[in-house]
Structure formats: C-alpha cells, structure tokens
Amino acid sequence: MGGVHATARIEARADGRGGTALPVLASDGPLALRRTRGTAAEARVVLVGAMSGPLGGDRFAVEADVGGGARLRVGSAAATIALPGQTKDDARYEVRLTVADDGELDWLPEPLISAKGSDLSVVTRVDLGAGARLVLREEQVLGRVGEEPGLLRSRLVARIAGRVVLDQELACGPGAPGGWDGPAVLAGQRAIGQLVLARPEFAERPAEARILAEHACVMPLAGPAALVTAVAPDGLRLRRVLDEALAELDIR
C-alpha cells in the first residue's frame, strides 16, 4: 500500500471578545493551512495544496470544528486535481465539518477536477447543531479542458441536530454505473456543483423552490436547509450560476 496519508485540522472558537480564535490550525504533509486576514468576527483560512494530488493510494482528510459563537471561512488557493497514481488503489478525500449551535462556517473551496485515469472517492460529512449556520460549496469538473474524466465518486451527508437532511452520492466517469452521462444524470455536462445552506430561520420560513438557470435550481430540503444543484458545460459557467445563487440566497 502506497500513497500519502494526511489529515489537516482546524478548530475555531469564540474568543470572548466578539472575534474568532483558531486554537488548532494543524497542517499535515501536502495539506497546508494558512490563516489569512479575516474580519472582526470571522477567522479566515486558506487550504494550500502543496502537491497537485490526491493520487491513487492517497488518503487525505480535512477537519474543521466550529464552536458556538465562532465564525470561520475556509477557501482553497487553487483547484484540487485528482490524478492517477503509481498504485491501482483509489484515492480518498474526506472532509469532516462540525458546527456547534450558533457557530457559522463558510466552506468555499475551489473545484475538484477529475483528470483522466484518476480514481477518487470524496466524502463530505457535515454535522450541524440546531442553530448552526453553514454555506458549503462543492464543485466537480470532469476532466481538464478537452480531457476525458477519471472515475469520481462523491458522497455528501449533512446532519442537523443529529437528523440527516441530505444524503447524496454521485458517481461519474469510466467505471461508474451505466447512464451517468446519459439524459437522466449529466447528459454531457462536465461540471456539477452544489451549495448547501443551513440556516435556523429556514425552520420557520423554508427557502423557496426556484429555477435559477436551465440546469440549476434551489430546493428546500426536509429540514432547515436548502440545496442548490447545478450542472454546466464547464467550471467557469458553473461558478457563475453558483455565485449568483449564493448572492441571492445568502442574505445575512
């Protein structure tokens, strides 16, 4: 068994003066975390991929834990590119996010690009307290420009107060179950994006279901959260749709 095993971890806590402290900011191997300039209330962190991985056999994990009253925003410096590795093993990337009651997390990484020959499984697990706030963006681009994609499997599970409000898997690329590129699933589109918004206010007043673009819509989930799902021909057009959706929905 080859490959790199790395787990990076962030803990964000209210500092008692209206701001957010980061008692833990632990980089690991290729997963480097940098604190950047934030706002008075919000701490900001950028995930810097020192390598272009994950490659086959790699096991990466990133954890963020946001306490009550803390506000954290995490981005990444560049797109993550899944590449084929030396071994036949798949690569795995896990993201584990926990936000306590009254905590707030914006998780806005750059896209994940599935390059030809790669085999990556991404799992994102989100655990939110009843009053937690979350914006989570996931973008997956199948292949670099003009390239056929690798095999990409992803799962996104979000819990609020212990109850699962969203559980979604997507598998695409060579080796995925049949029909993934057909008229029911992607129909030739090469970029898939999702925004998960959790807001305690949605319990009283759910987001309204709405069509945003030809292949994009807002959907209130069965719980105080909403999902924006979009597919587009490429990553740029996908980002445009998601940015518009976020600007419209994320009114604070």
Q: Which residues bind other proteins (CB under 8 A)?
A: 155, 157, 163-171, 177-180, 182-187, 189, 192, 209, 211, 215-217, 219-222, 227, 229-231
For residues 147 and 115, the answer to whether their CB atoms sit within 8 Å is: yes
Minimal distance in Å, beta carbon 186 to other proteins?
Answer: 7
Minimal distance in Å, beta carbon 176 to other proteins?
Answer: 8
Structure tokens at 116: 């030809």
16 or 183, CB closer to other proteins?
Answer: 183
87 or 168, CB closer to other proteins?
Answer: 168
87 or 189, CB closer to other proteins?
Answer: 189
> Which uninterrupted H or E stretch holds 247?
helix 235-249
Minimal distance in Å, beta carbon 171 to other proteins?
Answer: 7
Minimal distance in Å, beta carbon 144 to other proteins?
Answer: 21
Minimal distance in Å, beta carbon 114 to other proteins?
Answer: 15
68 or 220, CB closer to other proteins?
Answer: 220
What is the Rg, in whole angstroms, of the alpha carbon atoms belonging to the chain?
A: 18
18 or 179, CB closer to other proteins?
Answer: 179
For residues 138 and 168, the answer to whether their CB atoms sit within 8 Å is: no
Distances (CA, A) of 26 to 14, 22, 123, 186, 193: 18, 10, 20, 37, 28
14 or 231, CB closer to other proteins?
Answer: 231
For residues 101 and 74, the answer to whether their CB atoms sit within 8 Å is: no
Minimal distance in Å, beta carbon 161 to other proteins?
Answer: 13
Distance CA 78, CA 52 (A): 9
Q: Considering only CA atoms, which of 64, 13, 5 is closest in space to residue 30?
A: 5
Distances (CA, A) of 227 to 83, 197, 222: 29, 6, 10
Looking at residue 31, its amino acid is L
